[in-house]
Amino acid sequence: MFDINQLSDDLNKLSMENKCGQVTMSQKQKPLLCLNNYFYRISTKNNGNVFWRCTVTGCNVRCTTFGDTIGQKYAVNINDSFIHCHAPDTTKFANLEKRRFIKEKASVSDEPARKIISQNTGRGRGVKYSTIHRKPKYLIELWSIHKRLIDDIPRTTNYCESWHNAFGNMLKKHPNVYCLIDSLRHENKNKMFEL
Ligand SMILES: [Zn+2]
């Protein structure tokens, strides 16, 4: 499924960095410029230069781009001294883009309308959910003990602990190295006999 939120995030990052806005389509199917979650409609055009003004009435922020093709990204020329008299709309861009993609898809594909809508909105009848498999944070090979089960070897380190406990009891307290080596040899011999 198309990830609108990802797209929206990407655009936000872009607009923060180098004032790059994207032209999307308004509900009235007119070009609408989105920059930092503020929206601008066309005011005038002159020799390819497009002059935009904020869609909110009473807000006088203006900017210019070179072109107004829907779906395209443009470098926006904006005067930083202008400040919007309202808050940015963080959800509008995603919604408008979703609507635009549905429309675009409907115009080229011959699938029934209901199917196209449900695929893009993820609700209602006939919804197709697609699962995206990502690489896990902790690789399965790292923690899976399935193979140990098949090979019939212990799944935990408890057997080591029990051996360690028994061996520790066999030694005297705080043995020196020579003493320890002797004990290890002794233990080794014992195990050999058991086998
Ligand atoms: Zn504004």
- The full set of domain ranges for the chain reads 4-121, 141-195
Distance from Cα 53 to the centre of ligand 1, integer Å = 8
Share of the chain above pLDDT 70, in %: 83
pLDDT band at 3 (very low <50, low <70, confident <90, very high): low
Band (pLDDT 50/70/90 cuts) for residue 177 is very high
Report the chain's C-alpha Rg in angstroms. 34
pLDDT value for 130:
65
Per-residue pLDDT at 6: 67
Distance 45 CA to ligand 1 centre (A): 20
Q: Give pLDDT, residue 80.
A: 80
**Average pLDDT for residues 119-143, to the nearest whole number?**
73
- Centre of ligand 1 to C-alpha 3, Å, is 27
How many Å lie between the centroid of ligand 1 and the Cα of residue 85?
6
Mean pLDDT of 11-26: 72
* Mean pLDDT score, 146-152: 91
What is the 54 CA–ligand 1 centroid distance (Å)? 5
In the prediction, which pLDDT does 128 show? Answer: 62
What is the Å distance from ligand 1's center to 21 Cα?
15
SS3 75: strand
Buried b (16+ CB within 10 A) or exposed e, 11-24: bbebbeeebbbbbb
Mean per-residue pLDDT for 11-27?
73
Q: How far is CA 177 from the centre of its chain?
A: 56
**pLDDT in the model for residue 52:** 92
Would strands 38-46 and 49-54 be described as parallel, antiparallel, or unpaired?
antiparallel
Q: Which residues are close to ligand 1, an ion, with C-beta < 5 A?
A: 54, 56, 59, 61, 84
Instruction: List, for residues 54-89, the tens digit of each pLDDT value.
Output: 998 888 889 999 988 888 888 888 888 888 888 888
CATH code of domain 4-121: 2.20.25.240
Phi, psi of 158 (to 5 degrees): -60, -35
pLDDT at 173: 84
Q: Which of 13, 27, 26 minimizes the C-alpha distance to 52? A: 26
Identify the three-state secondary structure at position 176: coil
- What's the 60 CA to ligand 1 centre distance in angstroms? 7
112 or 188: whose pLDDT is higher?
Answer: 188
pLDDT value of residue 1 = 47
Note the pLDDT of residue 77.
86
Q: State the distance from the centre of ligand 1 to the C-alpha of 94, rounded, in angstroms.
A: 18
